[in-house]
Amino acid sequence: MRMAAVNLLPLAAVAGCVDGGAPGEPAGDDAGAQGRDAEIDAAADAADAPDARAEGDAEDVFDVGAIHEIRIDMDAADWEALRNGREWWAGELRWDGESAGEVGLRAFGMGSYNPDKPNIKIAFDHFERGRKWRGLEQLKLDNSTQDPSYLRERLGTAIFRRFGVPAARTGWASLVVNGDRLGLYVVLEAIDDRFLDRWFGNDDGILYDTVQGAWGHGLMPLDDPLAYYNPQMGEADGSDLVELTRLIASGSDEDLARALDLEGFLKESVARSVMGSIDSFSSDGNNYYLYDDTGFWRIIPWDLDFDMTYPVDPWEPWAYSPWAADSLTGEPYQDPVLIRQIELGADIDGTIAELVQTAMSCSVVDAELVSSVELIRDEAVGDPLGAGAVFDENVEALRQFLRDQIVAFGGSDCAAD
């Protein structure tokens, strides 16, 4: 089923979103592959189970039924430098009144950059290798300047996890720095060794993030992999990426199935398209991690706060993105993995049907949206540095967009308004 006609929601109608400019921030044999998939399903079920716990009590950090309070105290000059740079600084952190001790703090972000309300990466292990707090080594605080509803990360990552695609857990927190209230933030689980071990049962492979500002290449043939990818874990020169891109371009179907999590890539691509992303792996080669799981490649979606905005055709998602070109060379971008899967006869229709009838059904998404809005509305509207004045209209635009998408792709449980 090709995408039905849907009225394009102008980006300007989603008040507070960035218009134009750079996209958002980055991130065996057949029987063996099937065994890996079974392990992923089990890990995904365990990850979302109510009694699931990583080390410590990290689940409480990602409790979507609460707004936490984070207080950071640090030298005023260091805070000023953090707001306007990308260096690490020290600060004392308290979470709901509990001391987390001295942590490393660094701003991050590109399209979402805001010196008055910076995105902040928290590293509990920055000054003491191996140190963890509630089992976590890192957390990320997203200022949500590209999502005035504060909901896209929450809804999108939950859809992915229900769909069996590894995705970060989320929460919300009110941030106070040196006594000044910065407002509501989205709390994001870091993609790190803990995350990999929780989803895949190991952290022995090589994790790649994309180089900031280098989007639009994806897994098209590579000669200079480290111009586009940063190894986050493991010793790597990118030669494994070069080999993978050659395999995607010209390898046999059998070798491709042995080396790539084809089902995972297809689910990630389809879900992100149905969710309306013009800034993703399939649409413009951005906002994802790759994990070389000892020779079997996985994809992990990242940075969803610009999703759920535009209708996108799952067969040609790159045709809908204004950034579908290599940012370093200008070469047009098309997702070579999706192209190979279409050539192999991938069941895109069936994958879409499974998505909108289960993980992204109207009843499930509506329930999550309603409960989330009830929780965060007062905090969002009162955010001194956010887009509180347009929170309600953004929530309604988001709700209507999702319902339109689900109906357009065959969802059957959307009650008429």
Q: What is the pLDDT of residues 304-354, one digit of tens each?
A: 998 999 999 999 999 999 999 999 999 999 999 999 999 999 999 999 999
CB 271 within 8 A of CB 288: no
CB 173 within 8 A of CB 69: yes
Domain assignment present for residue 50? The answer is: no
Domain assignment present for residue 372? The answer is: yes
Least confident of 19-33, 122-136, 221-235, 340-354: 19-33
Domain assignment present for residue 393? The answer is: yes
CA distance 238 to 241: 5
Instruction: Work out how many domains the chain is built from and give that number.
Output: 3
Place of tokens 């769909």: 163
CA distance 215 to 271: 20
Q: What is the DSSP letter of 134?
A: T
Q: Do 90 and 223 have their domain in common?
A: no
Hey, what amino acid is at 356? V
pLDDT at residue 233, as a whole number: 81
pLDDT at residue 123, as a whole number: 97
Q: Does the pLDDT of residue 9 top 50, yes or no?
A: no
Helix (H) or strand (E) holding 337: helix 336-343
Domain that holds residue 382: 362-408
CB 173 within 8 A of CB 93: no
Q: Do 180 and 287 have their domain in common?
A: no
Q: Do 249 and 270 have their domain in common?
A: yes
Q: Does the pLDDT of residue 393 top 80, yes or no?
A: yes
Q: Do 330 and 232 have their domain in common?
A: yes
Question: Would you give the distance in Å from CA 117 to the centre of its chain?
Answer: 20
Which of 141, 157, 189 terminates a domain? The answer is 189
* Mean pLDDT calculated for residue range 274-287: 97
CA-to-CA dists, residue 388 to 118, 150, 393, 395, angstroms: 17, 10, 10, 11
Q: Which residue has the higher pLDDT, 130 or 388?
A: 130
pLDDT at residue 19, as a whole number: 33
Place of tokens 């509506």: 366
- Report the SS3 class of residue 63: coil
CB 185 within 8 A of CB 385: no
* Mean pLDDT calculated for residue range 168-177: 98
Q: Does the pLDDT of residue 44 top 80, yes or no?
A: no
Q: Do 207 and 351 have their domain in common?
A: yes
Q: Do 143 and 214 have their domain in common?
A: no
Domain assignment present for residue 47? The answer is: no
Q: Does the pLDDT of residue 48 top 70, yes or no?
A: no
- Report the SS3 class of residue 238: coil
User: Under the phi-then-psi rule, with left for phi > 0, alpha for psi from -120 to 50, and beta for the rest, what region is 355?
Assistant: alpha
Helix (H) or strand (E) holding 67: strand 67-73
Place of tokens 């001295």: 102
* Mean pLDDT calculated for residue range 268-287: 97
Which of 414, 409, 412, 277 shows the shortest CA–CA distance to 2?
409
Q: Does the pLDDT of residue 3 top 90, yes or no?
A: no
CB 118 within 8 A of CB 95: no
Alpha helices in 57-136 (DSSP H): 58-61, 76-83
How many angstroms separate the first and last alpha carbons of the chain? 25
- Residue 339 sits at φ, ψ, to 5 deg, of -60, -45
Domain assignment present for residue 95? The answer is: yes
Q: Do 233 and 246 have their domain in common?
A: yes
Report the DSSP beta bridge partners of residue 301: 288
Q: Do 226 and 164 have their domain in common?
A: no
Q: Does the pLDDT of residue 157 top 90, yes or no?
A: yes
Question: Can you read off the two tokens belonging to residue 250?
Answer: 């010209």
* Mean pLDDT calculated for residue range 190-209: 95
User: Under the phi-then-psi rule, with left for phi > 0, alpha for psi from -120 to 50, and beta for the rest, what region is 171?
Assistant: beta
CA distance 35 to 122: 35
pLDDT at residue 355, as a whole number: 98
Q: Do 129 and 269 have their domain in common?
A: no
Q: Does the pLDDT of residue 67 top 90, yes or no?
A: yes
pLDDT at residue 23, as a whole number: 62
CA distance 63 to 100: 18
Domain assignment present for residue 414? The answer is: no
* Mean pLDDT calculated for residue range 105-134: 91
CA-to-CA dists, residue 199 to 122, 175, 280, 323, angstroms: 22, 29, 21, 31
Report the DSSP beta bridge partners of residue 229: 210
* Mean pLDDT calculated for residue range 134-140: 95
Q: What is the mean pLDDT of the chain?
A: 87
pLDDT at residue 417, as a whole number: 57
Domain assignment present for residue 49? The answer is: no
Least confident of 216-225, 227-236, 328-337, 407-416: 407-416
pLDDT at residue 109, as a whole number: 80
Domain assignment present for residue 416? The answer is: no
Q: Do 344 and 379 have their domain in common?
A: no
Q: Do 63 and 155 have their domain in common?
A: yes
* Mean pLDDT calculated for residue range 95-115: 91
Least confident of 53-57, 188-192, 388-392: 53-57
Q: How confident is the model at residue 58 (pLDDT cuts 50, 70, 90)?
A: confident
Q: Do 208 and 335 have their domain in common?
A: yes
Q: How confident is the model at residue 18 (pLDDT cuts 50, 70, 90)?
A: very low
Q: Does the pLDDT of residue 369 top 80, yes or no?
A: yes
